[in-house]
Structure 1
Amino acid sequence: MKKCPECGNPSYDGAPVCGNCGYKFPKPKVGAKKRERSIFDSEPIFEQRPKVEVPKVEVPKVEKKQKVKKPSNEPSVIDIIKEKKLIIGIILLITLIVICGIVLTSSNKTGTPIQSSDLAQYNAGDFSFKYPKNWEKANLNDTEHETAIFFKNGNNTIIEHYNISSSATSLKDINQQRISNAISTGDAVELVETVTLDGRNCSNIILENSDGNYTRYVSMFTEGKLYVFKVTGDSLNSITSDSINSVINSADIA
């Protein structure tokens, strides 16, 4: 409530004039009402200050230094593997060459040639060979090959020769049968190879017998006929000597 300044009559606060004397109350000053904010208002409570743009400062890029590998005298793992493979390959190649050389030497070795005046010739129809005159003819028998002939040299090595008709279809079949028979009797196969005699492929088989001796078969097969040199001795050297190889290499089929 407010009182009229003229008559003192009380009036309500919002009355424009006094109800008793008609005095006009001065209009009240309207102050800025404080606004109540809610946490849900989207507008900011505080007055937003203008944004101040901060100038961008360009930072110079620092180039990364590439790591320079120091030269090392130590070989890498890959280099070592490559080097070892090369060495192994060379060793295998040398080994193969040596083996081939031994085989070729053993199959084609003729040694010191025997003078023709010291040789005698054996003829058996279409087959012949030359042998040293100092070889003795041995009186031996081969129950499986009745026409076989025998010689004995100075080392007591027995050289047998026979030729027979055969129903075999190839020299391979003959060799397989011979090897099977040898194994069944306890002999060990030391060597099986193909050699050339008189322009024909022949086989050269060496067996170690169960009694410790050695047997060598050199076989030629053509047109259903089998020609064989069978050499028996107490060592490998005795059955592969130069004189024996010379006799075998002199074989000739007419």
Structure 2
Amino acid sequence: MKKCPECGNPSYDGAPICGNCGYTFPKPKNSVPKREDIFKKEEPKKVKPSSDESTLDILKEKKLIIGIILLITLILICGIFLTGGSYNTSSPMQNVDSAEYNEGSFSFKYPSDWQETNLTDEDHPGAIFFKTTNNTIVEYYNVSSSASSLKEINQNRISHAQSVGASVTLLETITLDGRNASNIILENADGNYTRYVSMFSDGELYVFRLSGESVNSITSDEINGMLNSADIA
């Protein structure tokens, strides 16, 4: 119930006028929610990147780095192949002022600054000798042999070397003139080194005997170039 402010007569709450004096009651104000409450937009939630997306990004970065490394490696390999290939296919004595030794069906080339010396080999009277620029002695000889293979020849050579106090540093099979050849390096009892490079064909044994103060002196590029020029006609 409400009372009329003019006459005090009680009236029900929804009455528009006072039933006693006719006073017009003011219209009640409706409570309206604030506009900002009605239209307030909810801020979008920030979505954190999932761990799968992060992992994918990392993998992509790693693949890019690996790809760059592989590309650089491939370029380096191609460069080595191009520069190395042209060198390996050239004649072993192509860039050296050389002379040639020829004895019947066998020949080889050697640097022209090697000096032919008058040394002798009692076991091989027909041997020839050269002295290289680093004082390595190069002996060449050929003999007829009744051996059945290079293996047998090498076994006999090693047995003799060990009997005089030498030890085997290297024993391997190499290829010269498209044929199998043996390469043996011995350390002598006096500390010097001897290298035997032998080719065996049709009962003929062709031998290079190299003597020097170190392994490097008997395996130098100019010596290996000379050996690679060996040819059996």
Counterpart in the other structure of 1:232: 211
Work out the number of aligned pairs and report it: 146
1:24-173 mapped onto 2 (5 Å cutoff) = 113-115=92-94, 118-173=97-152
Which has the larger share of helix? 2
Residues 100-155 of structure 1: per-residue CA shift (max 9 Å, x gap): xxxxxxxxx99995446611010011100000000000110000000100000111
Could you tell me which of 162, 165, 183 is aligned with 2:162? 183
The residue aligned with 1:98 is none
CA distance in structure 2 between the aligned counterparts of 1:250 and 1:189, rounded to whole angstroms: 26
Structure 1 residues 247, 211: closer, same or farther in 2, change over 3 A? same
Contact 1:157 1:239 in 2 (8 A): yes
Q: How far apart in 2 are the matches of 1:236 and 1:253?
A: 27
What amino acid maps onto 1:174 in structure 2? I
Q: How high is the sequence identity, in percent, across the aligned residues?
A: 66
Letter in 2 for 1:216: R
Name the SS for the 2:222 alignment partner.
Answer: helix
Structure-2 change in CA distance of 1:148 and 1:167 (3 Å): same
Letter in 2 for 1:227: Y
Give unpaired runs (5+ residues) of structure 2. Answer: 1-87
TM-score calculated relative to the size of structure 2: 0.60
Q: What SS does the aligned partner of 1:229 have?
A: strand
Q: 1:114 to 1:126 in 2, by over 3 A?
A: closer
Give 2:104's aligned amino acid: G
In the alignment, is the contact (CA less than 8 A) between 2:108 and 2:226 conserved in 1? Answer: yes
SS in 2 for 1:237: helix
Deviation per CA, 1:65-107: give whole Å up to 9, x if none: xxxxxxxxxxxxxxxxxxxxxxxxxxxxxxxxxxxxxxxxxxx
Larger Rg: 1
Q: Which residue of 1 aligns with 2:228?
A: 249
Aligned-residue CA RMSD in angstroms?
Answer: 1.9
Contact 2:93 2:229 in 1 (8 A): no
CA distance in 2, matches of 1:156, 1:172: 30
Any idea what SS the aligned residue of 2:162 has?
helix
Cα 1:112–1:149 shift into 2, 3 Å: same
